[in-house]
Amino acid sequence: MKKISLCVFIVSLCVILHVNEAGFLKKISKPFERIGKEIRREVKDVGKAIEHVGKAVGKVGEKVLKPVLKPIGRVVSRSLKVVVRPVVKLIQKRRKEEVIEVVETVDDTTGIQATTETFEVGMIRLHNELRSIEGVTGTVAWDARLAQMSAEWITQCSLKYPVYGDSRDSYGQNAFMTTSATAEPIDAINTWYSYKSNFNPATGDCLDGQVCDPYLQAVMPESQYVGCATGTCPSFSGGPGGSTIFCMYAPL
């Protein structure tokens, strides 16, 4: 009997302790629950504050940087070096099949003034003035070897660009031919510049079916040296004759 009473007492005590434990835990859990809600609310408020700060900084940055970046963007978009570079490898291939045009009259397309000067000085000045007009950085200097190679080609009186089959094909070439008795440097530059209308800045290449290589070659940013020659021909490739100016550029 005593053993049964003891067991009943122990069971009753466990039940009381369990009930008290549940009530105790429930009581102490409520404050922690409130603290958790407050922390989540504070974190949410901080997140919103950070978002507002980020938007404000973005607006300030846009106002500060936009005036600075606009001019830079214009400079980059106007940089001839960017748009010309894809064409560099094509010029040599195309000119092998291109027939040089013989002109009778030349329009003033550049606005550059002609002056009384030696042929060498005039060709260098006109090239560099044209490059300056087109926003190309760097100038070209005279190269006697390129000038000699140009003079040798003129003696052939050919309407096609020379193809040597050796390292000389790595040089740039430009030709101007006219039925006039004398080929003037200013006329050559104006003619080469006139091909700009056939150039598509969006693609960095000539318009479909059009020739723009003379313009590209004259303002090629990679070119550092040029050598030119002038002469007369009684006949160009069996046709009417006239005078010519031929230039070679390095590097291509």
- Which residues fall within 8 angstroms of residue 98, CB to CB, at 6 or more apart? 160, 161, 211, 213
Q: For residues 44 and 90, state if they share a domain.
A: no
State the total domains in the chain: 2
At 129-186, the pLDDT tens digits run: 999 999 998 999 999 999 999 999 999 998 888 888 788 788 999 999 999 999 999 9
What CA–CA distances, in Å, run from 181 to 51, 105, 151, 193, 233?
76, 12, 17, 22, 9
Q: For residues 195 and 240, state if they share a domain.
A: yes
- Cβ pair 240, 181 in contact under 8 A: no
Q: Given this model, what pLDDT does residue 80 score?
A: 40
Residue 214: cis peptide before it, omega within 30 degrees of 0: no
Q: For residues 112 and 234, state if they share a domain.
A: yes
CATH of the domain at 153: 3.40.33.10
Answer with the one of 78, 108, 139 that is the final residue of a domain: 78
Q: For residues 107 and 56, state if they share a domain.
A: no
Answer with the one of 78, 112, 145 that is the final residue of a domain: 78
Q: For residues 69 and 99, state if they share a domain.
A: no
Q: For residues 144 and 49, state if they share a domain.
A: no
Answer with the one of 29, 46, 78 that is the final residue of a domain: 78
- The parts of the chain modelled with pLDDT lower than 50 are 2-3, 8, 11, 15-17, 19, 21-22, 24-25, 43, 57, 60-61, 64-89
Q: For residues 169 and 99, state if they share a domain.
A: yes
Q: For residues 185 and 244, state if they share a domain.
A: yes
The two three-digit tokens of residue 242, written as one number:
């006239």
- Between β-strands 102-103 and 225-233, what pairing exists: parallel, antiparallel or unpaired? unpaired
DSSP code per residue over 74-143: HHHHH-HHHHHGGGHHHHHHHHTTPBPPEES-----S-PPP-S--HHHHHHHHHHHHHHHTT--S--EE-
Q: For residues 37 and 102, state if they share a domain.
A: no
Range of the domain at 194: 86-250
Q: For residues 193 and 119, state if they share a domain.
A: yes
Q: For residues 33 and 99, state if they share a domain.
A: no
Q: For residues 122 and 69, state if they share a domain.
A: no
Stated pTM of the model: 0.59
Q: Given this model, what pLDDT does residue 163 score?
A: 82
